[in-house]
Structure 1
Amino acid sequence: MIWLVPLLVLLYLTFTRRWRCKNEPPLDPGLIPWLGHALEFGKDVPRFINRMKLKHGDIFTVRVAGRYVTWLLDPHSYDAVIDDPDALDFACYAQVLMERIFNLQLPLQQPAKAKAMMKGYFLGTSMSTLNSTMGRHLETLLKTETLQNQRNWKKEGLFNLSYSLLFRAGYLTLFGGEQNNNSTDPCRVYEEFKKFDGFLCKLARGTLGAEERKTAQSVRRRLWELLAPAGLTESSGSSRWLYAYRQLLQEDGVDEETQRKALLMQLWATQGNVGPAAFWLLGYMLTNPEALMAVKRELGQISRMENSGTPLVQRSENTPVFDSVLEETLRLTTAPFITREVVKDKILCMADGQEYLIRKGDRVCLFPFISPQMDPDIYQEPQVGCRFFFKQLRRSCSAANSSCSACLRDVLEADFGVISISGCLCKLESESTQHRERSDQELRATQGSAEHGNRNRDDGRGKDTHVSFEKQNNK
């Protein structure tokens, strides 16, 4: 009976092994049954994909944990994937992620309705209104911090400073209205969201340990409770978009508990990327003197516009240098997967004229970080951030080039937020310099008065007294 074991293994490998058919992309299933390349893929995604690209070219299929994934790395062919929702569907994969990350199940058509509704609130004059509101909250938060620390400088890590300020300002703009008007402290929401964000990747992959799963579920429940009052009524102080979103959920028959889960999903979608993007942007400027000086000059012009009474939203629209630094930072740091499920066999037409058959049941992934963002054929020394675009160029799919209103909102929030932070910090630096100058002037005036008084004395001790004053002052 022992001979049955190797026979069963042989039969399993024979009937589960996939063979490349005519006109299909190069197939690389890996050496380990079922797992395939999962271990290498999990360790270092860009390195693995680069190795496969050198081996197979711009399109190939690999096996990862039982799934066959076709990677397309030719940016000129990305539109063939993005523009075919009939054969290449995102909704199914999105439903899987919603359930894994947010424990959320929505009606199938609901996300499409929400997306269509969102465009009315995050484009045009509505976006300008949101920008104005967010700018007001940012300035209020920054002034609150400075008022509390007038005597002593407060030390804060750059990441936490960027993330905290932009998250709280964004939360107040979309979810919270004025501070504490719905009895929810934005600082508490931020702290809980930070914990939740730390589990997000493992939640998406389904790789949480027992203790991690318990903690993640507890944090998620606390966030549901904190978000419960947001958007319930028009007078709740939340944005018009959030109130309309909750109305849409109610019309679709979504219960109160599920609405709270949906609000957490929207909180992550609207605030999860803005703070980290602002951190990388500030870090990039601080470590690149040329970029920092160019942005400072441009912000100086914005400050002059401020003195003329120009609204901050209009001031932030004419910043070509800053925009170029933002785009270069996004090129260096953003690495999203664009994923589609193959719901029916498809002939994929490449930009070079080649045609490949993509099988139903597979998954197609685009990874713009490899190409065009880090492609040495496009950028010389792509790991070095030194490129400035002072006009809009025609670019293929990239992190900074998207028609998605949510992506545009994130970029605008990061742009607007960093301009506000930088402007405020420049103002603080200027006020600090002025304060030091006033202190020096007062000190010199005091010294001059002491010297003048000592010189008018007749007891002969004026010079010694003046020296003693200087020594004490030096101490």
Structure 2
Amino acid sequence: MGVMEFFSPGVIAVLGSCVLFLFFRWKNLRGPPCIQGWVPWIGAGFEFGKAPLEFIEKARIKYGPIFTIFAMGKRMTFVTEEEGINVFLKSKHVDFELAVQNPVYNTAWIPKNVFFSLHEKLYVLMKGKMGTFSTHQFTGQLSEAFHEQLEDLGARGTVDLNDFVRHLLYPATVNTLFKKGLFPTDERKIKEFYQHFKTYDEGFEYGSQLPEWLLRNWSKSKRWLLTLFEKNIDEIKAHKSVAGHSRTLVQAVLDVVETESRQHSPNYGLLMLWASLANAAPIAFWTLAFVLAHPEVHKTVLEAISSVFGTTGKDKIKVSDDDLKKLLLIKWCVLEAIRLRAPGIITRKVVKPIKILSHTVPPGDLLMVSPFWLHRNPKYFLEPDSFKPERWKEANLDKNAFLDGFMAFGGGKFQCPGRIGTGEGGHDLCLVRFTLYIRWFALLEIQICIILVLYKYDCSLLDPLPKQSCLHLVGVPQPEGRCRIEYKQRT
């Protein structure tokens, strides 16, 4: 008896209809090309993990403007051209907070129920307060904080540039954003803070994804930082930072957090600490490294600083808003460094099927954009691998309008709705808004830091400009090798 004799003509017709239905549905909902490897669950994880930035660009060249990488049980769909990026930024069917909730729990122990219950309250706070918490209120504080750190450096020295900027930025940021005196002053405790934050920061990407028992040193540093906030959270909330500004944005956020769960205020404090330090220091590093590696740019920057403050390096100057407006070249240098050393990825989670070009991206996929590679697209940036601060003349920075194709803050064709406050995109903007506030603060402090360093010291590189590390995707890439500088007080 043949196999087909077990089935009646009616059953065969139904099965045939199902096959045709599934075929046409597959044809109409065809997903992007998928790189999935041969090993179940791990997929392309091993190859992707060796050099993820290079892997992304090779996949774009081979598969086109949209493709999926299956690795470690996750589907990551990358979009690299305008239509896909616009969907990433503006679609109501992709969600930022769903994409980051698990990493937030892993790195700061903020439970899912607390994280999501604070959506509405944080969103209302950010929507109402972003305009009143002006970053420019910090110019005087930051100038004073940087002068304190510069005095510790002495008249001359040789040091790794990464350590140099951390020595300046870490204390200034912590004492200004959180509480004067939170950053330790005892040499042993300073070293302890640096070591624990460095361990936490460098392991952040792994800690966001891997079980904690695999990362013992990282876990130990996370606990140390959480304990620091547990001991100081009440003083941070009570601290009066600037005359005329009774509540800082950090204090306002902590007030909202405590309406839901007082015990998790230290956890949000840790998250805010990482957001304020993790990218500011490497961007300051890269900006100074690029300027010092380009003699003509360096010369022009020094002439601009001297035209505003004079040529001596001994005066204890205060950088004002008006000074920053006269020194736009410094801001151009910072933005150009951000363009060249942008994060490897930013992510959203797909919650409903979305159509991009001829493909349908299914729910559950992580939708990815790589600012690092977008900023190297010659369609938007001529000579994309060159450090050219003058290209920022074309941007309308007075209105916070950046160059087309620049993804760090949103701008041009890729305007980020979280920055302009249109309310599009849902309540995921509460975290976007806070992140943008931190970015504006970081942009301000990096400019002031560079102005004061180059005003006080003659600096020169002792090593070639290092390449960026291609091992990490989250945050600004670190240098691949050492980069020493020699500094001497200007006379």
What's the TM-score bracket when you normalise by the shorter of the two chains? 0.7 to 0.9
- Matched with 1:214 is 216
- Matched with 1:129 is 137
Alignment of 1:409-428 (within 5 A): 409-428=438-457
More displaced stretch, 96-105 vs 407-416: 407-416
- Check conservation: 1:135, 1:417, Cα contact below 8 A: no
Equivalent position to 2:116, from 104, 108, 112: 108
- 1:413/1:67 CA distance change after superposition, 3 Å: closer
SS in 2 for 1:383: coil
Alignment of 1:158-307 (within 5 A): 158-178=161-181, 188-206=192-210, 210=214, 213-233=215-235, 235-237=238-240, 240-252=248-260, 254-256=261-263, 258-304=264-310
CA distance in 1, matches of 2:132, 2:394: 21
- Matched with 1:465 is none
1:333 equivalenced with 2:337 (yes/no): no
Instruction: State the shift of 1:289 in Å.
Output: 0.9
- Matched with 1:345 is 353
Instruction: State the shift of 1:431 in Å.
Output: 9.2
CA distance in 2, matches of 1:201, 1:358: 25
Quick one: higher RCO (CA 8 Å, sep 6+), 1 or 2?
A: 2
- Check conservation: 1:89, 1:342, Cα contact below 8 A: yes
Higher alpha-carbon Rg: 1
What's the CA shift string for 1:157-188, capped at 9, x where partnerless?
Answer: 11011123112101001122246799996664
Instruction: State the shift of 1:259 in Å.
Output: 1.9
- 1:322/1:302 CA distance change after superposition, 3 Å: same
Instruction: State the shift of 1:273 in Å.
Output: 0.9
CA distance in 2, matches of 1:431, 1:98: 43
- Matched with 2:436 is 407
More displaced stretch, 275-284 vs 319-328: 319-328
* Amino acid paired to 1:423: L
- Matched with 1:473 is none
More displaced stretch, 388-397 vs 243-252: 388-397
Report runs of 4+ in structure 1 exceeding 4 Å deviation.
118-125, 178-188, 304-311, 428-433
- Check conservation: 2:200, 2:221, Cα contact below 8 A: yes
- Matched with 1:453 is none
- Matched with 2:424 is none
* Amino acid paired to 1:198: E
- 1:46/1:75 CA distance change after superposition, 3 Å: farther
What's the CA shift string for 1:390-440, capped at 9, x where partnerless?
Answer: 241541342254525533543552453343344244334599454xxxxxx
Instruction: State the shift of 1:108 in Å.
Output: 0.7
What's the CA shift string for 1:191-238, capped at 9, x where partnerless?
Answer: 32112112212112316674xx22222211211121224442554356
- Matched with 2:370 is 367
- Matched with 1:7 is none
**Which runs of no fewer than 5 residues in structure 1 stay unpaired?**
1-17, 349-353, 435-475
* Amino acid paired to 1:396: G
- Check conservation: 1:328, 1:387, Cα contact below 8 A: yes
Instruction: State the shift of 1:313 in Å.
Output: 3.1
TM-score (norm 1): 0.74
CA distance in 2, matches of 1:118, 1:178: 27
- Check conservation: 1:275, 1:414, Cα contact below 8 A: no
CA distance in 2, matches of 1:188, 1:118: 34
Alignment of 1:374-453 (within 5 A): 374-388=376-390, 389-392=392-395, 394-399=403-408, 401=410, 403=419, 405=433, 406-407=435-436, 409-429=438-458, 432=489, 434=491
CA distance in 2, matches of 1:426, 1:380: 31
What's the CA shift string for 1:377-397, capped at 9, x where partnerless?
Answer: 444442222352224154134
- Matched with 2:33 is 27
CA RMSD of aligned residues (A): 3.4
- 1:322/1:76 CA distance change after superposition, 3 Å: farther
- Check conservation: 2:135, 2:444, Cα contact below 8 A: no
- Check conservation: 2:280, 2:442, Cα contact below 8 A: yes
- Matched with 2:54 is 47
- 1:169/1:101 CA distance change after superposition, 3 Å: same
